[in-house]
Amino acid sequence: MSDGLLEQPTGRQRMGFFTDTSICIGCKACEVACKEWNQVPDDGLSLLGMSYDNTGMLGADTWRHVAFIEQDRPLGRQNNSVTVMPTGPSGTASTAAVVAAGLGDKHGSMLGTQTGRVHPGPQPHATPDGHVSPGGRTELRWLMASDVCKHCTHAACLDVCPTGSLIRTEFGTVVVQEDICNGCGYCVPACPYGVIDRRERDGRVWKCTLCYDRMTDGQEPACAKACPTDSIQFGPLDELRERAARRVEQLHGVGMPEARLYGADPDDGVGGTGAFFLLLDEPEVYGFPPDPVVTTRDLPRMWRHAALAAAGVAATVLAAFVTGARR
Amino acid sequence: MTRHEVRRDGLRDETPEREALIGAKGGRRPGRGGEMVPPAEFRSYYGRSVLKPPVWSARDIAGYLFLGGVAGGAALLAAGGDLTGRGSMRRAGRLISAGATGLGLAALIHDLGRPARFAHMLRVLKPTSPMSVGTWLLGGFGPLVGAAAAAELVGAATAAGVSGALPPSAGAAVRALGRSSGLAASLVAPALTTYTGVLIANTAVPLWHDAHRELPYLFGASALAGAGGLVAASTAVDEAGPARAAGIAGVLMEQALDRRIHKRLGMVAEPLDQGYPGRLMRASRLAGRAGAVLLAGSALRRSKALDVAGGLALAASSLLARFGYFHAGNASATDPRYTVVPQRERADRAGSVGAQHPADLGGGRGVRGEGQEPA
Ligand code: SF4
Ligand code: SF4
């Protein structure tokens, strides 16, 4: 690669990811590249029944996760030929039911990718006999999106870390110092995106570093490097935001009014994210929180309540000695 | 793979893929068709959790929420007992407080992924991290209440003339040390009972975070119930009045605050009434009411049996409530409903989803548990 190197980041610029899901082809090169470069441990092999997604969700051992969503909806002006395709009826509804059962009442959390391993058994329409028809399908689109740590401007994980293990780097990214983390686990429920997690056998927490090691060497992160369509774009955040805004306009212009940015607004609940996305549906469809807020935004108010409550406790005990003395 | 240049001077050598005009060809009217299901409650990615629930073990952390409260409340009662000449209350309060502090600290360390690195907590003091603040609070409180309890034990041994104990002349010095450290501990104690509310409220867990206005008060009240109960149960009957009063007041306030949380939070408070946490909370309310009645009975006609039964019931009520809130928080974090529904309402009210929300496409809500709109 001759001219693909970035200019050496100066460390004064905030670097980030723009993940344009409209051109993601779901090849999972990012997942693989991340695992290899960062030597992220194996986390089991399972069939989740969620379209082509057998990764499940981000976690201590999954720092890039490609989501697959099949929808009975058209993609822009595209003629999808579904009406002439001998596919049989859509299986999404029946698989979704199997997946939901596999996830149980924990909804797939806390189980890593072992989560929701499904045994679908024969599907009702798997082998249609005789004439094969579209089976009632008229529309089809397939959404794919590569999820990652958002490297929030106001990062809850970093705020709540009691050891100072989580730090903000010179590139504006959020990184765990593994020699400091004592595995208290506070960052895990603090993250409004459900990204960071504790590795069970190791005891510490792990997440995407935006390839801190590569960046300090002037290299782009492994996932962006591996992405064959440039769905994952890496660069100075302000430039990425400009480009993303143009891309949204472009898509609106060709009949994709549903194209929208997620995390690009510096006024949102986390002050904008260092890794932001172009989505073709509501964020929750991809497993993102629709309106995340950094928990520490409310912390000053919480401390005031705690101080008032503490005064109330002391006053109650005082009153107890005054009234209780008579009894 | 492709040239991946991001340069200050513009977008040169752009790769064509980035600009791929997906959905542009075909000549149909865009945005037709769409959802074939009736609008349901909310959409999600295959019904999966959005958040990661806490990795904390219930025994350690819910246990600590209880123990920390008891430690703080008992230290206050011990100081009051000391100042008002209630010797047995002072003794019970100091010993209970020191015991709860020790157990609580052990639980906190045990829950770490790397217990040997506990001392890393002492690298920094961060006001944005209630866990850091709490560690320092405990670090100040523990030695004080430990010294007060030690003075109590040494004093008792000296008074009993145990061989090897201090000479009787040292008794006054030991008592003075016990009093000063006990009183100093009582200055930290109120904060110890309420900061745990902030500890769990300062997360993305929907139930805990949304209850951040009430949790410090609820935990403070619960601490009084637990500590009042335990101290009342282990104090001489004619000295236990203030402990009974504190315990009863605590449990009444706790239940009132719990009702307030239910009222203000609406659907996000549902997990408090469902399944295992629901059973814990019901048991807590019953035990709390029974304990309050028994202790009130003992206030009217003094009875050790009533004090013990009522005191233990109050302590059980406090313990059950902490476990109830702990497990209900976990449930609210795992079920995407409690993350998505309130946030979607908020986003819709604010009129922004980061961008537009086309009525012809995004209006419906998929069936729960499915990331897609099944036909
Ligand atoms: S809060 Fe979550 S998404 Fe934001 S930087 Fe921390 S781990 Fe990443
Ligand atoms: S688990 Fe590690 S990184 Fe997370 S808050 Fe605790 S010490 Fe910090």
Task: Place A3 in a pLDDT band, splitting at 50, 70 and 90.
Answer: very low
**How many interface pairs between A and B have CB atoms less than 8 angstroms apart?**
476
Q: What is the ipTM of this complex?
A: 0.90
**Chain B contact present for A188, CB below 8 A:** yes
Q: Note whether residue B79 is domain-resident.
A: yes
Exposure string of A104-119, with b = 16+ CB inside 10 Å and e = fewer, is eebbbbbbbbebbbbe
Q: B202 vs A90, which has greater pLDDT?
A: B202
Is A16 within 8 Å of chain B by CB?
no
Tens digit of pLDDT for each residue in B251-289? 999 999 999 999 999 999 999 999 999 999 999 999 999
Answer yes or no: is B135 within a domain: yes
Give domain status of residue B150, yes or no.
yes
- Report CA(A288)–ligand 1 centroid distance (Å): 12
Q: What are A40-97's pLDDT values in tens digits? A: 998 877 788 888 888 889 999 999 999 999 888 888 877 777 766 666 677 777 777 7
pLDDT at A248 over 90: yes
Residue pLDDT, tens place only, A25-42: 999 999 999 999 999 998
CATH code of residue B96: 1.20.1630
CA distance B14 to B167: 88
Chain B residues with CB under 8 Å of A85 CB are: none
Question: Which protein residue has the closest C-alpha to ligand 2 atom 4?
Answer: A187
Measure the CA angle with vertex A313, ends A297 and B247; round to 5°. Answer: 130
Burial class of residue B305 (count of CB atoms within 10 Å of its CB; 0-12, 13-18, 19+): exposed
Query: For residue A135, what pLDDT band results from cuts at 50, 70 and 90?
Result: low
Nearest to B198 by CA among A192, A318, A41, A310: A310
Which residue of A273, A291, A298, A318 to mutate against B (max B Cβ within 10 Å)? A291
Q: Do B20 and A22 touch (CB under 8 A)?
A: yes
Å from CA of B82 to ligand 1 middle: 49
The answer to whether the beta carbons of residues B74 and A314 sit under 8 Å apart is: no
Which two structure tokens, joined as six digits, stand for B304?
């050790």
Kindly give the distance from the C-alpha atom of residue A169 to the centroid of ligand 2, in angstroms, as a whole number: 16
The answer as to whether B48 is a domain residue is no
- B203 vs A190: CA distance, rounded Å: 4
Q: How far apart are CA A300 and CA A307, in angstroms?
A: 11
* Alpha-carbon gap, residue A196 to A187, rounded angstroms: 7
pLDDT for the residue B339: 95
Instruction: Give me the mean pLDDT over the B43-52 stretch.
Output: 91
**Considering the domain boundaries, does residue B10 fall inside one?**
no
Here the tokens at position B93 are 């309060």
pLDDT digits (tens, 9 = 90+) for A167-222: 999 999 999 999 999 999 999 999 999 999 999 889 999 999 999 999 999 999 99
Taking CB atoms within 8 Å and a gap of at least 24, the contacts of B149-158 are B149/B94, B149/B95, B149/B97, B149/B98, B149/B99, B150/B178, B151/B94, B151/B175, B151/B177, B151/B178, B151/B181, B151/B182, B152/B90, B152/B91, B152/B94, B152/B95, B152/B178, B153/B95, B156/B91
- Which ligand is the nearest neighbour of the Cα of A186? 2
Three-state secondary structure readout of A173-219: CEEECCCCCCCCCCHHHHCCCCCCEECCCCCCEECCCCCHHHHHCCC
Does the residue B359 lie in any domain? no
- Kindly state the average pLDDT of the residues B200-228: 97
In this prediction, residue A7 has a pLDDT band, given cuts at 50, 70 and 90, of low
pTM of the model: 0.89
**B296: containing domain:** 58-335
Residue nearest to atom 6 of ligand 2 (CA): A184
* B307 or A97, which is more confident: B307
The set of protein residues with a Cβ atom below 6 angstroms from ligand 2 is: A 160-161, 163, 165-166, 176, 181-187, 205
pLDDT single digits (tens) B8-38: 555 555 555 678 777 777 666 554 443 333 3
For residues B163 and A18, give the distance between their C-alpha atoms in angstroms, rounded to a whole number: 76
The predicted pLDDT at position B6 comes to 53
Residue nearest to atom 2 of ligand 1 (CA): A191
Q: Residue A311 has what pLDDT?
A: 97
Query: Of the candidates B114, B128, B373, which has its C-beta nearest A296's C-beta?
Result: B128
Smallest CA-to-CA distance from B184 within B56, B312, B82, B62 is with B82
Q: Give domain status of residue B72, yes or no.
A: yes
Instruction: Please give the pLDDT value at position A102.
Output: 78
Tell me, what amino acid is at A150? K
pLDDT at A319 over 70: yes
The answer to whether residue B118 sits within a structural domain is yes
Number of domains in chain B: 1
- CB burial of B154-178 (b: ≥16 within 10 Å; e: otherwise) equals bbeebeeeeeebeeeeebeebbebb
CA–CA separation, A141 and A256 (whole Å) = 13
Of the listed ligands, the closest to the CA of A193 is 1
Count other C-beta atoms under 10 Å from residue A217's C-beta.
12
